[in-house]
């Protein structure tokens, strides 16, 4: 009989948020695979759980995965936990779950806390539909390109960011969506929980006077209604004027997309193609 891999959610700050089922599973399994053994050790000590723990993070997963799969094959049950919250939401573990399923092992979710959902439900923004984008790239140029890939998503968007990169990320967002609703959530469920609400442009100013501390969950509300769509002749004149003034195509596409009601991608294609007509369905 093969073992079961349990995907166990753990508290994101307040230790009281763990479920009774999660505590039972952590006590009963034969092994716990933890992203951060120190934090998981503190949780286990608090609840007097003595189950053996092994590290399973981005640096050790290639080495540890075969051992965990071998334990499952021997009929032992394993719990996978992240440093906080629900595993696999921007944490290591996806490959392990795939491998366990491929080997015929049972995979069971044990749901619970999630910083993504906690921030979303407290944001005041529509929760359906929403997309979770994880962390933006660290390098500036890659981050700007990555944000542009989300420009065509008009609904609520949730992402994560480290405190030392938050100001730069917000500045890049403001270049695309200055008036888009923004929620900055930090220290969720903890004593100094903070949820700030405003626009992206206001968020840029906020972090200048309130230095970021701790990891942030960002909730971007739906994009504001776009203006009436320009006709092709008006858009072409604006493109020609912008290029004549030396404006870079990518910056010109962003600016005209906000003003014209055309999707940024379609504006950029039109810039590259000159006055070649674009099909309406590209909008």
d(CA 98, CA 65): 11
Q: Is the pLDDT of residue 279 over 90?
A: no
- Highest-pLDDT range among 125-134, 218-227, 258-267: 125-134
pLDDT attached to residue 227? 66
Nearest to 184 by CA among 140, 123, 126: 123
Q: Please, which pLDDT band fits residue 281 given cuts at 50, 70 and 90?
A: very low
d(CA 203, CA 116): 19
Q: Is the pLDDT of residue 176 over 70?
A: yes
pLDDT attached to residue 243? 86
Average pLDDT, the chain: 91
Greatest alpha-carbon pair distance for the chain in Å reads 72
Global pTM value: 0.79
**Cβ 246 vs Cβ 240: under 8 Å:** no
Over residues 152-168, mean pLDDT: 96
């Amino acid at each position: 009989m093969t073992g079961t891999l349990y995907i166990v959610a753990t508290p994101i700050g307040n230790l009281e948020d763990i479920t009774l089922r999660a505590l039972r599973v952590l006590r009963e399994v034969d092994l716990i695979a933890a992203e951060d053994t120190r934090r998981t050790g503190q949780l286990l000590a608090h609840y007097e759980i003595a189950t053996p723990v092994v590290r399973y993070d981005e640096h050790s997963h290639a080495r540890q995965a075969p051992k965990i799969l071998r334990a499952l094959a021997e009929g032992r049950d394993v719990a996978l936990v992240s440093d906080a919250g629900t595993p696999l939401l921007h944490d290591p573990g996806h490959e392990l779950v795939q491998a366990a399923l491929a080997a015929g092992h049972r995979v069971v979710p044990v749901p619970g806390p999630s910083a993504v959902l906690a921030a979303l439900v407290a944001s005041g923004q529509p929760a359906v539909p929403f997309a979770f984008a994880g962390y933006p790239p660290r390098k500036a140029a890659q981050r700007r390109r990555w944000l542009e890939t989300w420009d065509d998503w008009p609904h609520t968007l949730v992402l994560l960011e480290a405190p030392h990169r938050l100001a730069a990320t917000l500045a890049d967002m403001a270049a695309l969506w200055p008036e888009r609703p923004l929620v900055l959530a930090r220290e969720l469920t903890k004593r100094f929980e903070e949820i700030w609400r405003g626009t992206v442009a206001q968020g840029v100013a906020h972090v200048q006077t309130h230095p970021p501390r701790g990891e942030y969950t960002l909730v971007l509300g739906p994009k504001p209604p776009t203006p009436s769509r320009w006709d092709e002749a008006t858009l072409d004149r604006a493109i020609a004027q912008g290029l004549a003034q030396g404006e870079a195509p990518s910056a010109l596409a962003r600016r005209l997309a906000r003003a014209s009601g055309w999707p940024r991608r379609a504006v950029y294609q039109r810039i590259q193609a000159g006055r070649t007509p674009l099909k309406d369905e590209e909008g």
